Amino acid sequence: MNNFLHFVSVNIERDKHLDKILPFLKNENADVVCLQEVFERDIPRFEKELGMSAHFSVMMRMPYPAKNPKEILSEGVAILTKLPVVKIIPHYYKNSPLHLPVYKKYIEGEEDSMAAVLLCVVVSVRGEDFTLATTHFTWTPHGEADDRQRRDLKELLKITESFKNGIVFAGDFNAPRGREIFDELAKKYKDNIPPEYETSLDVTLHRAPDEVKHLMVDGLFSTPEYSVNNAKLHFGVSDHAAIVANIEKIT
């Protein structure tokens, strides 16, 4: 019997859609779940309701709520799994997670005060190791590549290329398919999002649907050691669609 696992990745937009995303994740009953834009304070709720263990890496500290702040919350990416964990490694490719300044809103240069990380987990599936990872890549206005993205992509690729036994990684890349940054990734790794999907943004839930409704910015990439099957996008759970797929080890 071939080894495979059921996988989900989704940008949950902090705590805005928990009433939608939690029931969806319960129904999917995935082996591994990757989350972007998750508050650290919400991790115990995900663990309890999904019956999974979570691993979190911080990317920013932000005032909450935005209009009338009462506290400072840590936001980042997380991987949840019910499988045995062999190891978990946060690979930071922009800035240190230590002593992050409080992020207020996007202004020129402030985006660089955030950290960026490829959070990697190795899980065991019937005695065989699977290496999976998630990231939330550098944002730019209108999805246009700039020197910050080019710089951060170079550092990210150093990390992904270090996995000699293969890797599957997913997340919000803030870089549309068909443009420079996404296509650089797709040159090196298989793009597993079916071509019939034109966007991964939910026009009914995203804060700027007219501007971004045509952009495919979420990705699921793999090396030849893995086969990604039945990949689909599920809308109606967050401002980004959830990526759902089965991942099989083929070597």
- The structure's pTM equals 0.95
Domain CATH code at residue 119: 3.60.10.10
140-186 confidence digits (pLDDT tens): 988 899 999 999 999 999 999 999 999 999 999 999 999 999 999 99
Question: Of residues 251 and 19, which shows the higher confidence score?
Answer: 19
Name the pLDDT band for 111 (thresholds 50, 70, 90). Answer: low
Rounded Cα gap, residues 150 and 140, in angstroms: 11
52-98 confidence digits (pLDDT tens): 999 999 999 988 987 788 899 999 999 999 999 999 999 999 999 99
* Helix, strand or coil, per DSSP, at residue 244: strand
Rounded Cα gap, residues 36 and 11, in angstroms: 4
192-203 confidence digits (pLDDT tens): 999 999 999 998
Query: Which of 63, 66, 95, 91 lies closest to 77, judged by CA?
Result: 91
Question: For the chain, how many structural domains are there in total?
Answer: 1
Task: For residue 148, give its domain range.
Answer: 4-249
Name the pLDDT band for 107 (thresholds 50, 70, 90). Answer: very low
At residue 67, φ and ψ (nearest 5 deg) are: -80, -30
